[in-house]
Amino acid sequence: MSDVNAATLADFAASEASPPVRGYWASVGHRLRYDYATLFFLSVIIVVALLAICAPWLAPFDPTKTAMAYRLKPVGFKNFMLGTDDLGRDMLSRLLWGGRTSLIMGMVPVGVATVIGGFLGVLAGFVGGRVNTLIMRAMDIFYAFPSVLLAVAISGTLGGGIKNGMLALTIVFIPPLCRVAESATTLVRGLDFVEAARASGATTLSIILHHVLGNVLSPILIFASSLISVSILLGSGLSFLGLGVEPPTPDWGLMLSALRSGIYIQPLVCALPGVAIFITSLSFNLVSDGLRQAMDVKA
């Protein structure tokens, strides 16, 4: 009976072209290639990043040059394509230069925290026992404070400036990333395929690289990508409070706070930094969502 089934199955299979054996990451890329919404928002992020990178060549004016005669001018006024701010500085130039600081504030802390938090979390989850207790209880100490308060406290202690702001954000993001990595690793570690890998004589390192990381990396990366927009907003918040970027360095959050008072005079111009933050963080969130779908093998 089984032989008959096997034979018919074999004939059926022979008539079809065999699909290539695609590795996990190749299959993720394959699924992403047909997810047009995610590709669109990914290209938005790339455009924003390119604009920020090319700010020195694209910006028509010096972003810090003030002109009292041209304060709070509307969009399209003379050569100021996007108007001017409360000190008469060109908004377009400031938005381009501000994108640099905002994107750096968004991506660097999350990137560093992903590496550190992910490593600690996978270690805690895979080794378990006392190592787990030690690492996770240490993380709990950070959880005792609300993240905004913690960021404010750290950068307040260290003093202002973009470096200290990023350090503060990194410290804030390590515990949640560590926790996500730890819970995902603990879940995977208990599954039979890890036991089966051990039964085949694999070393712990090989098991982590081949069997744990592939299953753990996607929740970590998805969570991290959703944190980028949080980081941009938190960084803007720090700048807003005068703890992150210091004036006159342009930064979207700082610009938004400085232009608050002008909202009744030039609403459109004053909302522009907010629009920039909104578009960027929305794109990061939607790309993170697309990534989650692409990384799910069952999708």
Partner 1 sequence: MRLITERPDTRPTPAASRDRGGPQQPILIVNGLRKYFPIKGGLLQRKVAEVKAVDGVDFSVMKGETLGIVGESGCGKSTLARLLMHLIPKDEGELIFDGDPVDDIRGLSLRDLRRDLQMVFQDSYSSLNPRLPIQDSIAYGPRVHGVGKAEAAALAADLLNKVGLRPSMFGARYPHELSGGQRQRVNIARALALDPRMLILDEAVSALDKSVEAQVLNLLSRLKRELNLTYLFISHDLSVVQYVSDRVLVMYLGQVVEIGPVDAIYAAPRHPYTRALLDSRLSMNPLERMSEPPLSGDPPNPVNPPSGCRFRTRCAFAESVCAERQPRLAAADGGAHLVACHMADAESGHGRAGLSAPLH
Q: Which residues bind partner 1 (CB under 8 A)?
A: 1-2, 5-6, 9-10, 13-14, 16, 18-24, 191-193, 195-203, 206, 210-211, 214-215, 297-298
Asked if residues 268 and 23 have their Cβ atoms less than 8 Å apart, the reply is no
Residue 6 vs 54, nearer CB to partner 1: 6
Tell me whether residue 206 or residue 261 sits nearer to partner 1 (CB atom). 206
The distance of closest approach from Cβ of residue 90 to partner 1 in the complex, given in angstroms and rounded to an integer, is 50
Closest listed residue to residue 55, CA positions, set 103, 104, 96, 98: 96
Minimum gap (Å) between residue 124 Cβ and partner 1: 17
The residue among 14 and 141 lying less far from partner 1, judged by its C-beta, is 14
CA 120 to chain centre: 19
Shortest approach of partner 1 to residue 250 CB, angstroms?
43
Distance CA 172, CA 149 (A): 10
Measured distance CA(180)–CA(197) in Å, rounded:
24
Q: How far is the CB of 219 from partner 1 (least distance, A)?
A: 12
Looking at the Cβ atoms of 62 and 195, the one nearer to partner 1 is 195
Provide the minimum distance between the beta carbon of 11 and partner 1 in the complex, in angstroms, as a whole number.
10
Which residue's CB is nearer to partner 1, number 21 or number 68? 21
Distance CA 23, CA 125 (A): 25
Which of 229, 197, 200 lies closest to 214 in space, CA to CA? Answer: 197
Residues 6+ apart with CB under 8 A from 44: 279, 283
Is the Cβ of residue 25 or residue 119 nearer to partner 1 in the bound state? 25
CB of 186 to partner 1, least distance (A): 14
Residue 269 three-state SS:
helix
Task: Give the Cα separation of 132 and 124 in Å (integer).
Answer: 4
Within a 13 Å sphere around the CA of 260, how many CA atoms are in the beta-carbon half? 5
